[in-house]
Amino acid sequence: MKLQKDIRYVGVNDHEIDLFEGQYVVPNGMAYNSYVILDEKIAVMDTVDRRFASEWLANLAAELNGRTPDYLVVQHMEPDHSGSISEFLRAYPSVTLVGNVKTFLILENFLGKNVAPNRLTVKDGDTLNLGKHSLTFVFAPMVHWPEVMVSYDAASKTLFSADAFGKFGALDAEEEWDCEARRYYIGIVGKYGNSVQILLKKAAALDIATICPLHGPVLFENLDYYLNLYDIWSSYRTESEGVCICYTSVYGHTKQAVELLENELRKNGCPKVAVHDLARTDMAEAVEDSFRYGKLVLASTTYNASVFPFMHDFVERLAEHNFQNKLVAVIENGSWAPMAAKVVTNLLSPCKNLTFLNPVTILSAMTEENRAQIADLAKQLCE
């Protein structure tokens, strides 16, 4: 695939995968992106998952048309991007691997100390001249591994952005960018918002016309739109006005309370209500919506003097991903010793800038008093 005269796409689509990184459901597969810059010197930008090494090498050979690459730039050592380095070196043993000190430390962890005798170790801000194109390496540690760097080519105004601006889904699947990019970002990179903010500030100084990520489509148009979303996500601001409700229910009483709250929110004109039954939903979707909307309701039964296991897992995921800057309400249910509100609040104690509304406590089944409390809660959430 020709992206520009001298820049070609040589990546692959993966429709065999069901869980990315062993946990994220990917109904439309994944793309592992790789690029080649054809200049006086030839640079290959990252490899692909080793399961697709043969397909990738065939794509690369077709674009090389008999030439031999000079450099393999390793921007990220995660195996979905570095997994075919060994196969590449067998095909092109004279190539020079380009990376930073941490790149080669992790490379040796995966492949041993004797791999890739030809190495070029770069520092932040170093350049690699290819002819008409010259790559400037911009370090992006903890976006989302410590060795990550991105590469900028001023001649084509192209940013090779590593995992930044990636998304779930193969390139031959038509789907909205925002949803799968948001779920990808929050699940995989979301903990490291401060690191992303640093990278965005560095990127603001560059004249970027094209973004080439390691997953998802190449971005040519409306780059301000994508940059703005990344700024919102990485600064943990509210993207959309609305309420996310996440719940667990054993015998249906807590679910009834959630259904009542949802109806009351809609009656009060809430712009968006997203509801997740944590025992049945894709947990990553629930995490995504919790970050997307400004207000979160957690409704759970008490279970073994704690909260129901799915809720416990979910709240721990929120805390792990640096959940912050939200309004939170808790609905707890317990027949003799309701504990959910206390446990949930404690689990979220590491999170910054959370405002908690007074909890609603149900003792087994809802009463008229509970119905009034939920109606009042809906009004507070819609203010």
The whole-number average pLDDT for the span 98-112 is 96
**Cα 7 vs. chain centroid, distance in angstroms?**
26
- pLDDT-derived band of residue 232, with 50, 70 and 90 as boundaries? very high
Q: Taking the model in full, what pTM does it have?
A: 0.93
Stretch 234-262: mean pLDDT: 97
Residue 51 sits in a domain whose CATH number is: 3.60.15.10
pLDDT higher than 80, residue 371: yes
Domain match, 203 and 336 both:
no
**Confidence class for position 2, pLDDT limits 50, 70, 90:** confident
Q: Assess whether 220 and 278 both reside in one domain.
A: no
Q: Are strands 7-9 and 2-4 parallel, antiparallel or unpaired?
A: antiparallel
Distance CA 171, CA 15 (A): 10
Number of C-beta neighbours around residue 369 at 10 A: 11
- Residue at which a domain ends, from 213, 234, 255: 234
pLDDT greater at residue 115 or residue 14: 14
Kindly state whether residues 120 and 155 are assigned to the same domain: yes
**213 and 160 within one domain:** yes
205 and 326 belong to one structural domain: no
Last residue of some domain: 174, 204, 234? 234
Is the pLDDT score of 106 beyond 80? Answer: yes
Cα distances from 56 to residues 61, 202, 218, 271, 361, in angstroms, run 9, 31, 17, 45, 57
pLDDT of amino acid 240: 96
- What local confidence, expressed as pLDDT, does residue 257 receive? 97
Do residue 248 and residue 229 come from a single domain? no
- In this structure, the answer to whether residues 228 and 352 fall within a common structural domain is no
**Is the pLDDT score of 229 beyond 80?**
yes
The predicted pLDDT at position 194 comes to: 96
pLDDT confidence band for 383 (50 / 70 / 90): confident
Rounded to whole angstroms, how far apart are CA atoms 41 and 43?
7
Asked if pLDDT for residue 195 goes beyond 80, the answer is yes
Out of 169, 201, 234, pick the residue that ends a domain.
234
191 with 72, same domain: the answer is: yes
- The structural domain count of the chain equals 2
Note down the domain range covering 357.
Answer: 240-382
Two structure tokens written together for 345: 């609040």
pLDDT at position 5, please? 85
As a whole number of angstroms, the distance between CA 330 and CA 340 comes to 8
pLDDT at 1 over 80: no
For residue 334, the domain's CATH number is: 3.40.50.360
Average pLDDT over residues 93-116: 95
Band (pLDDT 50/70/90 cuts) for residue 177 is: very high
- 280, 311 in Cβ contact below 8 A? no
**DSSP 8-class letter at 272:** -
Cα-based distances in Å from 134 to 17, 120, 370: 36, 15, 66
Shared domain check, 183 and 254 = no
Measured distance CA(181)–CA(316) in Å, rounded:
22
Same domain, 136 and 261: no
Give the mean model confidence (pLDDT) for residues 48-54.
98
Q: Which two tokens stand for residue 41?
A: 């010197």
Question: Are residues 300 and 170 part of one domain?
Answer: no
Q: How confident is the model at residue 3 (pLDDT cuts 50, 70, 90)?
A: confident
Arithmetic mean of pLDDT, 249-275: 96
